[in-house]
Amino acid sequence: MVGFTIGYTGGVYDRAGERRLDEVWIAAEIAAGRCRVLPVWRDRNLVGGFPGAAPRAAFLGNGTADALLAAGETIFLGVAAGIAVFAVDLSERDETEAAFGLGAYAEIRGLSALLPPDEAALLATARGLCHWHRTHRFCGSCGHPTESREAGHSRTCTNPACGRSHYPRLDPAVIMLVESVDDAGRPVCLLGHNARFPEGVFSTLAGFVEIGETLEQAVARELGEEVGIVVDAVTYRASQPWPFPSSIMLGFTAHGRFAPPRPDGVEVVEARWLTIDDLALAADWEEEGAPLRLPRRDSIARFLIESWRAEHAR
């Protein structure tokens, strides 16, 4: 669907997982001086150009990168265009010093539509892995410090009596468009206004998957809790990496019984059944002040809405 690509899904680089334990290969790549390093500073990525022009990932130059790589604690992200790419967390440094005059540290959540798709995916991955390392410096089993292993893809407890390995965790979240047919026989979809959304924005509903439930059960439970709608026929559609800090969004459509939604008033403050004609009148996210605005064009929420709209277009 042209114009509605899901953000952060353009990761065309090779993750080269088999190289994570290949210390000889990694050392040779570093020694050859052809690696690229993406720095992260407290959940922000270094970008050049922005805000004066379109943002681009800022890779550290050879001299700076080599020193950081030699010092260790870098995370091997993979191979892009034949070149090994690493991430490094510079959160302990002064922000300006850590930018090396190459750009500024920016919150990339929401910038994916402006970045080249492959760079958006790399930056998001770098951010997510650096966040995981920063928040897993101690063993959850025994409290001793942990050390990075597998070129940054695991951490191991330094307590010989424990030695437990820890791996990056993802928090799965379901996001779902509910479709139905109204009393006049028209196809409708249910969108909600979350308490955290800007004024006028209506989107698909979402929530975290709980331990012990299936994705389909999570979809049904969240819709019951948030808007009091009973659904069946839950169908998987697409996913979006969301390492802000550690989620993956799993997109579904579900068929709901047409009834007045009952927003919980806490997460969802308003919910509406909308027809194709209602959606045609809706504005884009950027159009502040419009009474009904749709989510960003690169979000999985928008992808679900536009897919539904396309399926029911007359």
Least Å from the CB of residue 165 to Zn ion? 10
54 interacts with Zn ion by CB under 5 A: no
Q: Which of 148, 154, 159, 239 binds Zn ion (CB under 5 A)?
A: 159
Q: Which of 79, 102, 162, 283 binds Zn ion (CB under 5 A)?
A: 162
Q: Going by C-beta distance under 8 Å and a sequence separation of 6 or more, which residues neighbour residue 204?
A: 175, 176, 177, 191, 192, 251, 295, 301, 304, 305
3-state secondary structure of 224: helix
165 interacts with Zn ion by CB under 5 A: no
Q: Which position has the token pair 């050392």? A: 27
Q: How far apart are CA 58 and CA 103, in angstroms?
A: 7
Least Å from the CB of residue 17 to Zn ion? 25
154 interacts with Zn ion by CB under 5 A: no
Nearer residue to Zn ion within complex by CB, 6 or 139? 139
Nearer residue to Zn ion within complex by CB, 164 or 237? 164
266 interacts with Zn ion by CB under 5 A: no
Burial class (CB in 10 A: 0-12, 13-18, 19+), 151: buried
- How many residues touch Zn ion under the rule CB under 5 A: the total is 8
Q: Which of 21, 27, 67, 142 binds Zn ion (CB under 5 A)?
A: 142
Q: Going by C-beta distance under 8 Å and a sequence separation of 6 or more, which residues neighbour residue 264?
A: 225, 226, 227
Least Å from the CB of residue 147 to Zn ion? 11
Within 120-139, the residues that bind Zn ion by CB under 5 A are: 139
156 interacts with Zn ion by CB under 5 A: no
Q: How far apart are CA 15 and CA 220, in angstroms?
A: 34
Q: Going by C-beta distance under 8 Å and a sequence separation of 6 or more, which residues neighbour residue 14?
A: 78, 79, 80
Q: Which of 26, 65, 157, 268 binds Zn ion (CB under 5 A)?
A: 157
Least Å from the CB of residue 155 to Zn ion? 10
Q: Where are the alpha helices (DSSP H) in 61-108?
A: 62-70
Least Å from the CB of residue 167 to Zn ion? 14
Contact 241, 7 (CB under 8 A): no
Q: Which stretch binds Zn ion (CB under 5 A): 130-138, 155-163, 229-237, 269-277?
A: 155-163
Nearer residue to Zn ion within complex by CB, 140 or 291? 140
Contact 300, 249 (CB under 8 A): yes
Least Å from the CB of residue 136 to Zn ion? 11
Locate the DSSP E strands across the chain.
36-41, 44-48, 56-57, 75-80, 83-89, 104-106, 146-149, 154-157, 165-166, 171-181, 187-194, 205-208, 231-242, 247-256, 268-275
Interface pattern 83-122 for Zn ion (x via CB under 5 A): ----------------------------------------
Q: How far apart are CA 299 and CA 286, in angstroms?
A: 13
Within 281-310, the residues that bind Zn ion by CB under 5 A are: none
Positions that interact with Zn ion (CB under 5 A): 139, 141-142, 144, 157, 159, 162, 164
